[in-house]
Structures are given as structure tokens and as C-alpha cells.
Amino acid sequence: MKIQTCAQINLNNLILNVRAIRQKVAPAHIIPVVKADAYGHGAVAVTKRLAVEGFKLFAVARFEEAMELRDSGIRAPILIFGRVFPDDIGRAVAADFRLSLYEPADIDWIEATNPKKQACVHVKMDTGMGRLGVLPDQEADFFNALARSKYCRWEGLYSHFATADATDKEYAYLQLDRFHKVLDRTSCLKIRPSIIHMANSGAILDLPESYFDAVRSGILMYGHYPSLETSHGIVPRPVMTLKTAVAHIRNLPANASVSYGRRWTAPKKTRIAVLPIGYADGIRRDLTNRGDVLIRGKRYPMVGTVTMDHIMVDVNDDPIAPGDEAVIWGETAQGSLSLLEIAAGIGTIPYELTCGVSKRVKRVYIDDSVPMEK
């Protein structure tokens, strides 16, 4: 008997999800967001499969993430959301990455690099996220500097919503209005971008006014709503199923305690299934005495403190045995556990949980290469 803890990545579901998104946002294009190792799903495998599906532009957060895709043989254009610093600009331009610009200094860095070809750039506007982007009082100076640049080819203009996944869309509409005003002001410039994009997963679901030329799909593409407050205009299929198997069964008497800190005590004689997965694999300690595990199609509660390598599950008197599959989240033929439900139960979001699945958890890919629908 071999017990394997793995994250099963269903690329068939990924393709079904992006096709549903594509149908909803058409004629806008989709820029798949594959940063953070494709939200823990494996950036190389996910990007290669999406490239076969016909996607032409991908997005990551860091230069190193873009280089990983290039080194794997992916030749498609890649937009880097994060700042690319002078030491990496030459290689980034040579690799045909799309660089995000936030202020005139970014243009100066490109000019100083004196690249052999123009850098393809996307300008990010800060319409209210308060994190990155050209601020309103910097806008005129920035666009003047961009117009003078010999080494920047302006391909894209974008911004990012702060509250698109909230029920109250007032602030999202304020951001959208600010972005429209930027677009109005750029209409009289000598150079203009060819790709306008703003919508993230929440906006894809609820703000069709923000689709523009392209949308950026992240968590929705991987099968989850970004929050409990969005509409369900698309019904995505979970791409990741995190699972392991029962390693050991413990028969405990009443009043026996389980795990560090003795945070759970058996109320009666019971059977405890020990699973070889823990916080080193991405199981949040917040799930101590709060999470569920799916075994043989039935939910069982996690009991005792989540440890680095193991969690414990109260299986009562049920005939659970070593080797039985145990699902932490995702879907199986015997049932499913919603990642959004799990995340909400411990006050976090699906993104954090999938990104937190560690490298020691093997990714196993399922891909039937679903034919394109005619």
C-alpha cells in the first residue's frame, strides 16, 4: 500500500472554466493570470495547456516567474505586474516580456539600459487601489515622458479594482469612472495603447462595463468565486483537489487527548484516523478543530491541533481503514468540499489556500485534451 499526498490538478476543468469566461466576456479577450505558480496549480503546466487552447498573453507578478515560463519553452508574450528593476530590464526586453510602468523613473531605467529593441510596456493607473500605479497628480508628467521615449512601445493601459468582489459596488464604480477619465485624456495623445484592461475575477462576474479589450482572470479560472458576495453568472469547476490517504487508525478511550496543547479530548471511546498532511503541506493551523475531511463520501471533523506533518480526524465507529482516500478540498466522484466554504470558515480567501500548498505536495495533472467546441 502506497500513500500519496498530492494536489490533483484537473486541466479539463481549467479549460471548461476559461471557455465559460470567454463566452461571458466576448468580444473581450482573456489574459490568464498565472502568477504565484498559477495560484499553486503549477504555472508551467497551466500556461502550456492554456497556450494550446489559444491564449496569446499571460500575466505574472515577477520577473523570475516570467523567466521560469520562458525557460520551460513558452514563447507567448508575458505581462509582468510587478516592477522590473534595472538589473533585469535588459533581459526582460530581450525575452519580449511586457513591462508595467508606474512612474517616470521606470521610463528612465529603460532609457538608461539602451536596449537593442523597444520595450513593450503596459501603464498601470492607480484609480484607488493605493498600491501601485501612476497617481492622478503624476499623470501629465508621466505621459509626456512616455511620449518622448525612444525605447518604449506603449501596448497596454490598465488599472486594478479594490472592491469588485464586494456586494457594495459604489467604490468599484468610482474607480471605473476615474479610469474612464484617464482614457478620455489619453485619446488626444499622439501615442495610444492598443490593449485596455481592468476587470479581475470579481469584475468579470459583476461589472461588464469594465471588460474593455481584455479581462484578467485569476481565481475564477481556477474554479472558485473570489468571495461569498459575487454573483454566480459563471459556475466554475474546481481545478485543484488536495488529497491524501489514511495512514493509521488509533483507538482511543474516552477522555484521551489528541495532539499538541491537548486542544481536543475524546468525549467517548472513538477511532482517530491519522492523515500524513499538515501545515508544512499547506493545511492552515486555523483549521484546528474546525475543518472537515471527506472520506468515503462522508465528512469527518479534524480534531486536535494541526501539526507540521499530520492531522487527525474523528471517524467515530465507521469502518475507515489505512489507505482510504481523504479529500481536504476539491471534488471527487463521492462528493466535494468547497474551498470557498473552507476559506470563509477560517476568515481567509481561496487564493491563500491554493497558493499555500507547498512544493513537497506533488502535483498530479489530469488532461483529456477536451476538443474545442465548434
- Asked if residues 350 and 275 have their Cβ atoms less than 8 Å apart, the reply is no
Is-catalytic flag, 260?
yes
Which of 185, 169, 80 has its CA nearest to residue 128? 169
124 is an active site residue: no
H or E segment and range at residue 86:
helix 86-94
Catalytic residue from among 56, 117, 260, 269: 260
| Peptide bond preceding 115 in cis form (omega within 30 of 0) | no
> Is residue 139 helix, strand or coil?
helix
230-to-31, 167, 225, 288 alpha-carbon distances in Å: 20, 7, 7, 28
Exposed/middle/buried for residue 33 (C-beta within 10 Å: 0-12, 13-18, 19+): buried
List C-alpha distances in Å: 369 to 12, 14, 60, 343.
Answer: 7, 11, 24, 30
CA 179 to chain centre: 24
Distance CA 223, CA 338 (A): 10
**Which one from 35, 124, 169, 243 is the annotated catalytic residue?**
35
Q: Are 211 and 199 in contact (CB under 8 A)?
A: yes
Active site residues: 35, 260
